[in-house]
Structure 1
Amino acid sequence: MKIISVLSINKLGKFASLLVALGILLLIISGAWNYLQDMLQVRANRSNAMQVTKQVFPDQVVPAMAPDFFTEYRLERDKIRSERSDLLREIIQNAPTQDTKQQAQETILKMTLEKQREVEMENLIKAKGFADALVFVRDNSVSAVVKTTALTHEEVVQVAEVISRISGIKPGDITISAKP
């Protein structure tokens, strides 16, 4: 009788861990989906993004600041990561099992390492003479957006070499695009 109870408790613990891990995965997917939807909405609403609330006279000079894609994306990326980290920290504090805590801690560590590698790659790409760059690290691929009107073959090779060296991803799994 005791053997059956212990087996049932072990199965229940594994099931709870599986549910928590599935919940984490669903939250990450949901966050990514919401982010993509928000980015599409932002692009669609840029024409109506600013309204004049103050009358401007001809002798006054008001500099126009266009939103910068690279700055906006970094802010949004940091916001999403912060929200994910907060959620994972909550899971760590309230986790029913040590296994669940460890999975959440590993996810936080992975996110931190991804962020660190992305920043390192972005800075090295800028050191190659580009005005700005964004790098997105995924499990088996990397995407980069470089601030320039066009990229030559040599520039693509330079950027891919930097990304491959830091990330360990093969050049065939790296996507590089230009955005002015």
Structure 2
Amino acid sequence: MRIISVFSLSKIGKLAIFVVLAGILSLIISGAWNCAQDILQTRADRSNAMQVTKPVVPDQVVPAMAPDFFTEYRLERDKIRSERSDLLREIIKNAKTEDSKQQAQESILKMTLEKQREAEMENLIKAKGFGDALVFVRDNSVSAVVKTTALTREEVIQVAEVISRTAGVKPEDITVSAKP
């Protein structure tokens, strides 16, 4: 019986080796076939692309424009606020006392409200017909820079009214200037 079991194990072992080798061989052949198909498809895509695509020749070369003062300032202001907000959130997260945590939360709220009011005033000033505007809210004053070459007295009064109404600041605490 031992001879038979060794003989059948030997047959089973050979059969298992054959099955494993056949599987490996089929994987290699399948991989080679897929690779060849991909290469042929890529060549076909390239040839079609070359036939369909036309070279783009611009009629006029347009110089790249640098961001203007208003865009650059908004980006810088947002970056600074984001950094400040991250710092305050870190303070809230690691606060040792409830008082320091509350102060940081109040600072975040104040900064958020300030940002909202500035955006609202800037949009209202733009709605008055100006190209762009930046508004800076301080504790007791507000400054605005309007995108225009010059401001008339009436335009300054218009801008100051928008700011006074929105921010609740007295007209004498508002500074309006022009920037082309």
Could you say which TM-score interval applies, normalised by the shorter chain? 0.5 to 0.7
Q: Which residues in structure 2 correspond to 1:73-84 (within 5 Å)?
A: 73-84=73-84
1:95 maps onto 2:125 in alignment? no
Cα distance in 1, alignment partners of residues 97 and 76 from structure 2:
32
Cα distance in 2, alignment partners of residues 64 and 79 from structure 1:
24
The CA deviation at 1:67 is 2.6
Cα distance in 1, alignment partners of residues 101 and 107 from structure 2:
10
RMSD: 1.4
The CA deviation at 1:60 is 6.3
- 3-state SS in 1 of match to 2:103: helix
The aligned counterpart of 2:162 is 162
Cα distance in 1, alignment partners of residues 64 and 152 from structure 2:
31
The aligned counterpart of 1:126 is 126
Cα distance in 1, alignment partners of residues 100 and 66 from structure 2:
45
Structure 1 outlier segments of 4+, above 2 Å: none
The aligned counterpart of 1:64 is 64
Q: Which residues in structure 2 correspond to 1:9-28 (within 5 Å)?
A: none
Cα distance in 2, alignment partners of residues 66 and 97 from structure 1:
47
Cα distance in 2, alignment partners of residues 69 and 63 from structure 1:
18
The aligned counterpart of 1:111 is 111
The CA deviation at 1:61 is 1.2
Equivalenced residue count is 123
The CA deviation at 1:63 is 2.1
Question: CA separation of 1:95/1:157 partners in 2, compared to 1, >3 Å: closer, same or farther?
Answer: same
- What is the identity percentage for the equivalent residue pairs of Structure 1 and Structure 2? 89
Rg comparison, structure with higher value:
2
The aligned counterpart of 1:15 is none
Cα distance in 1, alignment partners of residues 67 and 100 from structure 2:
41
Q: Which has the higher contact order (CA 8 A, sep 6+)?
A: 1
Cα distance in 1, alignment partners of residues 120 and 64 from structure 2:
31
- State TM-score, norm by structure 2: 0.66
The CA deviation at 1:119 is 0.1
